[in-house]
A and B are shown apart, each in its own frame.
Chain A
Amino acid sequence: MNERPNFSRQSCPLPLMDHDTVQLAHGAGGRLSADLMEKLILPRFRCPELEALGDQAVLNLAPGRVAFSTDTFVVSPIFFPGGDIGDLAVNGTVNDVAMSGATVEALSVGLVLEEGLPMRDLHRILCSMEQAAATAGVRIVTGDTKVVDKGSCDRIFINTSGLGVIPDGVNLTPKNISAGDVVLVSGTLADHGMAVLTTREKLSFQSEIRSDSAALNGLINTLLQAAPGTRTLRDPTRGGAATTLNEFAAAAGVGIRLDDEAIPVRPPVRGACEVLGIDPLYVANEGKFIAVVPADETTPALAALRNHELGADAAQIGVVVDEHPGLVALRTSLGVERIVDMPVAEQLPRIC
């Protein structure tokens, strides 16, 4: 799926509702609940499984192994440059399922709404979920809505779960990694985390930093066709690339050596990281994966990735080595190697 529809000019008008904010009764199962479902939610996610309005969705899946994942989204702010909590909730779970090499089939959506949430905001989030699901080519087949007292959650929390079927012969796991393999990243690092941080803390930098929130199932499909020997894939979300690479090194009992100068980071993102004393290798991404591929498939893998809109900045960032098993090292521009450690906790901006 190389073509991403452009929704930016489409309008998604708010249907006429009796209330302009979410009321406790919208989650109580009565008339207001039905109103919310029929006017706001169903029109966004129309598909036969959902419209049956049963207690469950009944799916016909292709035979094979099923990949199943769940994630809960509590991001603040709920709107940020490059995305919002809605597309993040769809893309995040699509990506978690797709990292297994599965064809992502269906999602569930659980909404926890805080009493008083503006209907306009809810509608905007549902519209972006609709668009994200359409772009990823997945259906939202079942869901649930709860409304909690004001103060019991921060405006809106979203849980999504996803199902996909793994094609025969695909078996992606870090245990496949061995010395000599090559580490690729599908694009620039740290965009999402820095977009959220700079928006949340109202830090203004000269150029806007945008989240990279995107569904990667299409890009993964492209990669697996070009590099069928791909060992493993993972999306470096919380904890960033450093965490993912440390997990790979530990699981496979190998060392990983990165090349500092090869790691792609957009200049404004790098600048914001420098100012705040944050290392981009530890910052969250929501539209990137790290792939380990056999050395002889590096060239076709990179060519295929770079030919895809979401992989234009793909790069080889390191190699897998026999030395220092379980550790990730980084070769600095001066040719010295240092450790890239697992993060202890969230990085905190420094005093000076």
Chain B
Amino acid sequence: MKHLDEFRDPTLAKSLLEKIHETVTRPWVIMEICGGQTHAIMRHGLDRLLPPEITLVHGPGCPVCVTPLETIDRALAIASRPEVIFTSFGDMLRVPGSRDDLFRIKSRGGDVRMVYSPLESLNLARENPDREVVFLAVGFETTAPGNAMALKQAATERLTNYSQIASHVLVPPAMEAILSAPNNRVQGFLAAGHVCAIMGWEPYEPLAQKYGVPIVPTGFEPVDILDGILKTVSLLEEGAPEVANQYLRAVRKQGNPAARAVMDEVYEICDRKWRGIGPISDSGLRIRDHLAAYDAERRFSVADITPNEPAVCISGEILQGLKKPDECPAFGTDCTPTSPFGATMVSGEGACAAYYRYARRGWK
């Protein structure tokens, strides 16, 4: 794992930290978009090494956190059906809907299986022609191409027993929603490196110009994140609202055109509700009409399920960078990973779970 060690090198990290301390002269609020970045920051304790002028707030980039409750309830309704083999990535299994989660459905006899790739669910469909195989396709631009590829393959093979609940979300519209909110306090972004590997960093240029914020596509290792923070702070101090790519080893300006092409072939842009944030125009991807036969929500007619959110949870404000997890009165007391109020605590990628796991209140 030489590749990893290089990006965790303490000497390199310390020299970046020194440069950040030298560069910063004023208070700045920077948001890291991706939950993976939030976890790396907490796991390596990076937030406690930064100068006090820099406040990191945690963005909406946790697909499990922002998947709307109605999507989860519809998934649970489909997973409960006897003819269905329901497949999902591991971290969606424990996310509570209004009453249940997928583990409980499984314990009551539902055939719920964890997969590591959408192509595994396709194999299940081929091997079980008498069963309906449904894949819960959630995630950002990072996971959408793989999921699109699986659906495209199903259509090519004319599989009649495969479908997806497609609830993908897109990063730039969420960033715009955060920036255009009257109470926004975010002044610069670490964009999610993996999303940019697919989409490129071109889509961020208009955002940087319109709202006057630097945006830095950033990786996930400590050295990446510190380098991303240094680039963001330098641009903020210079007053240069530009896009600067930190994640050079993975991100090109145009992204990955082949991946984008297959996404575009299978999915189309739609309005989407984000859990905790609310509806955002043009912020999601849904299955195109000519592939409607592969859309599980149309196939199993579950569109009328509309649940209610618990009122006490502040996960919406956390996902928009307005509050930090330990500012919630329920954090670590009434709301813990064993009895979570909201998705930011239950999801492994969620900001509340990261705070609880690595640095809960009372810890120096």
A34 shortest CB reach to chain B, Å: 38
Residue from the list B4, B10, B89, B140 in contact with A274, Cβ < 8 A: B4
B343 CB, min distance to chain A CBs, angstroms:
13
Inter-chain contact A348/B94, CB cutoff 8 Å: yes
Q: Indicate if B299 sits at the interface (CB-CB under 8 A).
A: no
Q: List, sorted by A's number, 15 A–B pairs whose CB atoms are closer than 8 Å.
A: A267-B1, A271-B1, A277-B348, A327-B363, A332-B44, A334-B49, A337-B364, A341-B356, A341-B357, A348-B90, A348-B94, A349-B91, A351-B89, A351-B138, A352-B143
Size range of the chain A interface in the assembly: 20 to 34
Chain A residues with CB under 8 A of B13: 333-334
Q: What 9 pairs between A and B have smallest CB-CB spacing?
A: A336-B45, A348-B90, A344-B337, A349-B90, A338-B358, A352-B142, A351-B89, A333-B10, A348-B91
| Partner of B363 from A270, A333, A339, A345 at Cβ < 8 Å | A339
Closest A residue to B2 by CB, please name it: A267
CA–CA, A201 and B104, complex, Å: 21
- Is B91's CB under 8 angstroms from A334's CB? no
Please encode chain A, from 16 to 60, with 1 for each CB lying within 8 Å of some chain B CB and 0 for all others: 000000000000000000000000000000000000000000000
Asked whether any CB of chain A lies closer than 8 Å to the CB of B64, the reply is yes
Give the Cβ gap from B33 to chain A, nearest Cβ, in Å: 12
Residue among A327, A338, A352 making CB contact with B43, cutoff 8 Å: A338
- Are B360 and A339 in contact (CB-based, < 8 A)? yes
Flag whether B194 is at the interface (Cβ < 8 A): yes
Are the CB atoms of A334 and B44 closer together than 8 Å?
Answer: yes
Distance in angstroms between the alpha carbons of A289 and B222 in the assembled complex: 31
Q: Chain A 193-236 against B: per-residue CB contact (8 Å), 1 yes, 0 no?
A: 00000000101000000000000000000000000000000000
A267 to B48, CA, bound (A): 28
Q: Decide yes or no whether A350 CB sits under 8 A from chain B.
A: yes
Task: Tell me how many residues of B have a C-beta within 8 Å of chain A.
Answer: 42
Query: Given known contacts A327-B363, A333-B13, A334-B14, what 19 new A-B pairs fall within 8 Å (CB)?
Result: A271-B4, A274-B1, A274-B4, A324-B363, A332-B45, A336-B45, A336-B49, A337-B364, A338-B43, A338-B358, A339-B358, A339-B359, A348-B348, A349-B89, A350-B36, A350-B91, A351-B92, A352-B63, A352-B194
CA distance A352 to B359 in the complex (A): 23
Please measure, in the bound complex, the distance between the C-alpha atom of A314 and the C-alpha atom of B255, giving whole angstroms.
45
| Residues in chain B within 8 A of chain A (CB atoms) | 1, 4, 8, 10, 13-14, 36, 42-46, 48-49, 63-64, 89-94, 114, 116, 138-140, 142-143, 194, 222, 337-338, 348-349, 356-360, 363-364
Pair B64/A351 contact, Cβ less than 8 Å: yes
Shortest distance between the CB of A203 and any CB in chain B (Å): 6
Q: Is there an interface contact between A334 and B63, defined as CB atoms closer than 8 Å?
A: no
Interface residue ranges, A against B (CB under 8 Å): 201, 203, 267, 270-271, 274, 276-277, 324, 327, 332-339, 341, 344-345, 347-352
Chain B residues with CB under 8 A of A334? 10, 13-14, 44-46, 49, 222
Nearest Cβ in chain A — how far from B115, in angstroms? 8
How far, in angstroms, from A203 to B4 measured CA to CA in the complex? 20
Identify the closest chain A residue to B138 (Cβ).
A351
CB of B266 to closest CB in A, whole Å: 18
In the docked arrangement, what's the CA distance between A352 and B356, Å? 21
Judging by beta carbons under 8 Å apart, are A348 and B93 in contact? Answer: yes
Closest Cβ neighbor of A201 among chain B residues: B116
- A352 near B36 (CB under 8 angstroms)? yes
Select from chain B the residue with minimum beta-carbon distance to A347.
B348
Give the residues in chain A near B36, CB-CB below 8 Å: 350, 352
The smallest C-beta distance from B60 to any residue of chain A, in angstroms, reads 14
Cα A203 to Cα B337 with chains together (Å): 28
Among B1, B14, B142, the most chain A Cβ lie within 10 Å of the Cβ of B1
Contact of B359 among A271, A338, A344, A347 (CB under 8 A): A338
Q: Bound state CA distance, A335 and B46, in angstroms?
A: 10
- Establish whether residues A270 and B1, one from each chain, have CB atoms under 8 Å apart when the complex forms: yes
Please name all residues of chain B whose beta carbon is closer than 8 Å to the beta carbon of A276 when the two chains form the complex.
116
Residues B116 and A349 in contact, CB atoms below 8 Å apart: yes
Enumerate chain A residues within 8 angstroms of B48, measured Cβ to Cβ: 336
How far, in Å, is A336 (CB) from chain B's closest CB? 3
Partner of B143, one of A201, A341, A351: A351
Chain A nearest CB from B347 CB (Å) reads 9
A276 CB to closest chain B CB (Å) equals 8
Instruction: Report yes or no: A352 in contact with B139, Cβ–Cβ below 8 A.
Output: yes
Q: How far is the CA of A338 from the CA of B92 in the complex (A)?
A: 26
B88 nearest in chain A by CB position: A351
Which residue, B45, B143, B337, has most C-beta atoms of chain A within 10 A?
Answer: B45
How distant is the Cα of A98 from the Cα of B60 in the complex, in angstroms? 49
Chain B positions within 8 Å of A345 at CB level:
94
> Nearest-CB distance from B169 to chain A (Å)?
12
Nearest Cβ on chain A to B190's Cβ, whole angstroms: 16
Interchain CA distance A277-B40 in the complex, whole Å: 11
List chain B residues, Cβ under 8 A from A271: 1, 4
Closest B residue to A271 using CB positions: B1
- Cα A276 to Cα B194 with chains together (Å): 15
Q: List residues of chain A with CB within 8 A of the CB of B116.
A: 201, 203, 276, 349
* Least Cβ–Cβ distance between A9 and chain B, in angstroms: 33
A348 is contacted by which of B42, B114, B337 (Cβ under 8 Å)?
B114
A324 to B90, CA, bound (A): 33
Closest to B14 in A: A334
Minimum CB–CB distance for A123 against chain B, Å: 29
List of A residues within 8 angstroms of B349 by Cβ: 350-351
In the bound complex, do residue A333 and residue B114 qualify as a contact, i.e. CB atoms below 8 Å apart? no
Q: Which residues of chain A are near B139, meaning CB under 8 Å? A: 351-352
A330 to nearest B CB, angstroms?
A: 9
A338 to B308, CA, bound (A): 36
**Distance of A269 Cα from B348 Cα, bound (Å):** 20
Given A274-B4, A351-B91, A336-B143 contact (CB < 8 Å):
no
Closest Cβ–Cβ distance, residue A154 to chain B (whole Å): 15
- Tell me the complex Cα distance, A331–B36, Å: 20
Distance of A349 Cα from B94 Cα, bound (Å): 12
**How far apart are B145's CB and chain A's nearest CB, in angstroms?**
11
Chain A, Cβ-Cβ closest to B48? A336
- Which residue on A lies nearest to B45, using beta carbons? A336
B93 neighbours in A (Cβ, 8 Å)? 348
A275 to chain B: closest residue by CB:
B116
Q: Which residues of A contact B4 (CB under 8 A)?
A: 270-271, 274
Residues of B within 8 Å of A347, CB to CB, are 348
Residue of B nearest to A265 (CB): B1
Q: Which residues does chain B contribute within 8 Å of A344, judged by CB atoms? A: 337-338
Closest to B39 in A: A277
The CA-CA distance from A162 to B42 in the complex, in Å, is: 43
